[in-house]
Structure 1
Amino acid sequence: MDYFPVFFNLKGQDCLVVGAGEVAARKIELLSRAGAKITVIAHEISTTIATMQTSPPLTLKQTAFSPTDLRQFRLIVSATNDIATNALVAKTAKEQSIPVNVVDNPELSSFIFPAIVDRSPIVIAISSGGSAPVLARLLRAKIESVIPPAYGQLANLAEKLRDKVKQHIKIPLQRRIFWENVFQGTIAEQVFSGNDQNAEILLNQALNNYNDTIDNGEVYLIGAGPGSADLLTFRAMRLLQQADVVVYDRLVSPEIIDLARRDAEKIYVGKQRQNHSLPQVSINQLLADLAKAGKRVARLKGGDPFIFGRGGEEIETLMAQGIHFQVVPGITAASGCASYAGIPLTHRDHAQSCVFVTGHLKDDCVNLNWTQLALPNQTVVIYMGLVGLEQICQSLIEHGSPRELPIALIQQGTTNNQKVITGTLETLPVLIKNQSIKAPTLIIIGTVVSLHDKLKWFLAKPFS
């Protein structure tokens, strides 16, 4: 984060604009909308600025800028065409610890103007840190198209009844849920339809009928997909952003965790080989206990929760204890990693079936149905098989698979750290022996792997 976003309260505050051209006029208009008392200093005052109607009125000084002009201004903008003047304004302002913006010159500025979506009192600021202002404006246009002006009226209604709601609903969690229901339900629709009076009546009715007993919360069992945040479903995004608690495992990427509410509690319950931060039975009960406390719990699981994710065990516990839950499928690692590696799991010339198995070691041994896995014309996908890779390859060869059968190891598939290493059952264990491979990984075995070089499309970091 190159710039920390903050909002200044400039009502009645003295602000200085150096320059009086068209660019300065746009900055003056923004500062005026925020209620600032604006002084303008410039050699020449344009007609646009001379005739601007602001409240309070502008103070115009037609003169060259001097460092002595800087009294205790709250904020300064320099919008001249003169490089030396802009530099002097910036230097003087910084010496006096006054926030300064030199238009189109981030290097001289201590703050920058974002692109603004104004739905007062809701204000949204979008910034590229000065690197791509046109892109920031395009994003603003997209946001403006989906946020109607009535959101401002909705915020005003909330402000009007905020204290009343706070007095009536004492528990912050319940109060937040109450407001979320207001902002996403019939009351909000009344505001959007222009029926502000009806909306206020309905809000008061909802408050008067509110029961402050703590009901059980709900658990959202969400498949987080193979890694990339772009591959989450719409439903997963919506539920993740309304959850009070996020319980996640080690296969969930930091980018996906960042999509949760900033104030949501995050609980890590990841498992690694021979290192379980919390046993599965304890995880099951944790979800139930959090829901019983009235929390909305997002249980994030890498891939799909019902494919080697033990999601079934978790909802069995929830059902036994009467906890409401939803299951949101995710793109399983097999599908996501194969797609991003350019390896089709089925292909009429190569594989007419696909088998998913786990290569997890138990008692230092991989116990699988090797006779079935060694059959031709199929694709075998092995989850959690990195540690046992050498044993997997050897066992398949011993049960009839050709030594030259193609195999791929995919590291951190679908992310910018994706690496795909291809070889054969005979060569792959040797190829990766001296490499630093980072979990999560997936193994794909079958002649479909031979299509990788032809069909690869995702340009991730090269293997080294």
Structure 2
Amino acid sequence: MARLNTFPLSFKVRGQRIVIIGGGEEALNKVRLVTKTSAHVLVIARHVEADFSGFAVDIVERGFMPADLDGVALVFVAEEGADAERAKAEARARNIPLNVVDVPAECDFYTPSIVDRAPLTVAISSEGDAPVLARLVRARIEAMLPPGFGKMASLAGGLRKQVEKLIQTGPARRRFYEALVTSPQVEAAVAASPIAGRYQAEVLLEQHQAQSASAGIVWLIGAGPGSEDLLTLRAQRLLQEADVIVHDQLVPDAVVQMGRRDAEQISVGKAKGHHSFSQAQINTLIVRLAREGKKVARLKSGDPMVFGRAGEEIAALRKAGLAYAIVPGVSAAMAAAADTATPVTLRKVSSGFIMATAHGADDSDLTHWAALAQAGLTLALYMGKSIASDVAGRLVANGASPSTPVGIVVNAGRADKSTYAGTLGALAAGQVAFSDGPAIILVGEAVAAGDWAQAADFATQQFKVA
């Protein structure tokens, strides 16, 4: 994982001075930025060429003097020449943070692209490497946050003393503030007037106090097949609200880290052959956490309702009388179909789609699957990589045609995915040396309509001895 070379923070400048050396367009650009703050801004230049008339700044038309940096919080140098060099040397001698425009190597700090919803600000920095990219990201965030969004931050700040007095614990306060800033009623009221917003917020505060402080909840969240950009918006929001994240081993760390920084993270590490927690222990864990009044994100690979043992966890929560909710995710079979452009249902070819687990399948299952494949349905078999050849052979033995198309995707939905294609007969001929990772086996005539051009062919694979 790449590490930051800068530490993002917000620098206090209220009641302090910011000095900008230079009188051209680069200096004007910095003035546009820093005059969004309450600092006193001073521009010093021998020749003022840009139009600063629309900004609350003091302009001194002369060369730089060391006394200009008395009591200064930040220095920007936006020109070249002797005055610029003297200003840089004086700032460094006084340990005043210095920004030299367009010279990243000489900067103590960088000026980010800023989304201004005062008092809420969002700063986007590329450490000076890609300012254009930072501006593009800023534009996207600007579109997400309505212009009046900062009023919600002001409202929350104005309620702080009242909330601290009425709500005694940190987690309970956090839950109230989460409810406050996501409330459509409060947002509409504060847009109308500060008084209306305050009233609606206090109504919400009364409702929050009336609720049981010990009532926890468990969210069973589908993390998708692994790529963090396939996580749903709802899943992202709830991960930010969760007090505890209980996650499976197959969930990538990048997804787990989407939760709050102070959220407890518990790996229950279920993988083939390595079960650090039994299902009964997981059930007991999430029930205990919810009874403690915590918001629990039970994070599962794929979709929690597809081979995710969610039914057992839901039964335990129901028995304990605890609240829960399901957040769907992209199942691995759907990711495999997307990776290979395989239409699992296809007019006049496949009228249906079946998901099943190959691990532990008996002869009656295989007979049924063979009949379904013969009838034109597409099969998506989970947890069958190590027994793929055996399953293929048994399907053929139970009536499936050896020429039935088969496609296998390992690590579906991820950058390191690998694909294999062929027929049931070719797969049954031996054990394929698959790459590491979970696999989805797609079987059926519709598989032939997918894009398997880059897939390894079963017929050319080096087979392991079964």
TM over 0.5: yes
Which one of the candidate residues 182, 185, 188 is aligned to 1:184?
182
2:62 pairs with 1:62: yes
Q: 1:431 to 1:109 in 2, by over 3 A?
A: farther
2:18 pairs with 1:15: yes
Q: Which secondary structure state, in structure 1, belongs to the residue aligned with residue 379 of structure 2?
A: strand
Q: 1:92 to 1:390 in 2, by over 3 A?
A: farther
Q: 1:445 to 1:96 in 2, by over 3 A?
A: farther
Q: 1:70 to 1:188 in 2, by over 3 A?
A: closer
Residue 390 of structure 2: aligned partner: 391
- Using the TM superposition, name which of 165-174 and 128-137 deviates more: 128-137
Q: How does 1:426-441 map to 2 (within 5 A)?
A: 426-428=425-427, 433-434=432-433, 437-441=435-439
Residue 458 of structure 2: aligned partner: none
Residues 31 and 55 in structure 2, CA contact (< 8 A), matched pair in contact too: no
Distance 2:407 2:87 in 1: 60
Q: 1:339 to 1:148 in 2, by over 3 A?
A: closer
Residue 77 of structure 1: aligned partner: 76
Question: Cα offset for 1:29?
Answer: 3.7
Distance 1:100 1:438 in 2: 50
2:27 pairs with 1:31: no
Question: Cα offset for 1:315?
Answer: 0.6
Q: Which secondary structure state, in structure 2, belongs to the residue aligned with residue 387 of structure 1?
A: helix
Residues 343 and 455 in structure 1, CA contact (< 8 A), matched pair in contact too: no
Distance 1:105 1:422 in 2: 53
Q: 1:453 to 1:139 in 2, by over 3 A?
A: closer
Distance 1:83 1:253 in 2: 52
Q: Which secondary structure state, in structure 1, belongs to the residue aligned with residue 154 of structure 2?
A: helix
Residue 293 of structure 2: aligned partner: 294
Distance 1:368 1:43 in 2: 90
Distance 2:31 2:379 in 1: 65
Residue 269 of structure 1: aligned partner: 268
TM-score if structure 2 supplies the norm length?
Answer: 0.83
Distance 2:449 2:296 in 1: 42
Q: Which secondary structure state, in structure 2, belongs to the residue aligned with residue 300 of structure 1?
A: strand
Can you give the 5+ residue segments of structure 1 that lack an aligned partner in the other structure?
A: 458-462
Question: Cα offset for 1:120?
Answer: 1.5
Q: How does 1:142-221 map to 2 (within 5 A)?
A: 142-185=140-183, 186-194=185-193, 196-204=194-202, 206-207=204-205, 210-211=209-210, 213-221=212-220
Q: Which secondary structure state, in structure 2, belongs to the residue aligned with residue 247 of structure 1?
A: strand
Residue 334 of structure 2: aligned partner: 335
Distance 2:240 2:77 in 1: 40
Distance 2:78 2:428 in 1: 63
Letter in structure 2 aligned against 1:201: Y
Question: Cα offset for 1:312?
Answer: 1.0
Question: Cα offset for 1:20?
Answer: 1.2
Residue 46 of structure 1: aligned partner: 49
Distance 2:31 2:262 in 1: 36
Q: 1:183 to 1:68 in 2, by over 3 A?
A: closer
Distance 1:438 1:156 in 2: 51
Q: How does 1:347-362 map to 2 (within 5 A)?
A: 347-348=346-347, 350-360=349-359
Q: 1:30 to 1:316 in 2, by over 3 A?
A: same
Residues 257-284 of structure 1: CA distance to partner in whole angstroms, max 9, x if unpaired? Answer: 2332333222212311121121111111
Question: Cα offset for 1:132?
Answer: 4.0
Q: Which secondary structure state, in structure 1, belongs to the residue aligned with residue 451 of structure 2?
A: helix
Residues 76 and 98 in structure 1, CA contact (< 8 A), matched pair in contact too: yes
Q: 1:159 to 1:378 in 2, by over 3 A?
A: closer
Residues 42 and 60 in structure 2, CA contact (< 8 A), matched pair in contact too: yes
Residue 119 of structure 1: aligned partner: 117
Letter in structure 1 aligned against 2:43: V
How many percent identity over aligned positions?
36
Distance 2:449 2:105 in 1: 49
Q: Which secondary structure state, in structure 2, belongs to the residue aligned with residue 369 of structure 1?
A: helix
Letter in structure 2 aligned against 1:306: M
Letter in structure 1 aligned against 2:267: Y
Question: Cα offset for 1:316?
Answer: 0.7
Residues 18 and 40 in structure 1, CA contact (< 8 A), matched pair in contact too: yes
2:368 pairs with 1:372: yes
Q: 1:332 to 1:87 in 2, by over 3 A?
A: farther
The alignment yields a C-alpha RMSD, in angstroms, of 3.4
Question: Cα offset for 1:156?
Answer: 2.2
Letter in structure 2 aligned against 1:311: A
Can you give the 5+ residue segments of structure 2 that lack an aligned partner in the other structure?
A: 456-460, 462-466
Residues 235 and 327 in structure 2, CA contact (< 8 A), matched pair in contact too: yes
Letter in structure 2 aligned against 1:127: S
Question: Cα offset for 1:123?
Answer: 1.2
Residues 107-166 of structure 1: CA distance to partner in whole angstroms, max 9, x if unpaired? Answer: 443322122122211111123444443443344344334433433333223222212211
Distance 1:199 1:404 in 2: 68
Question: Cα offset for 1:173?
Answer: 1.0
Distance 1:449 1:398 in 2: 21
Question: Cα offset for 1:24?
Answer: 0.5
Q: Which secondary structure state, in structure 2, belongs to the residue aligned with residue 48 of structure 1?
A: coil
Distance 1:358 1:85 in 2: 74
Residues 217 and 291 in structure 1, CA contact (< 8 A), matched pair in contact too: yes
Q: 1:409 to 1:429 in 2, by over 3 A?
A: farther
Q: 1:381 to 1:15 in 2, by over 3 A?
A: same
Distance 2:428 2:27 in 1: 66
Distance 1:119 1:44 in 2: 34
Question: Cα offset for 1:97?
Answer: 5.0
Letter in structure 2 aligned against 1:302: S
Question: Cα offset for 1:395?
Answer: 2.5
Residues 251 and 300 in structure 2, CA contact (< 8 A), matched pair in contact too: yes
2:311 pairs with 1:303: no
Distance 1:368 1:96 in 2: 82
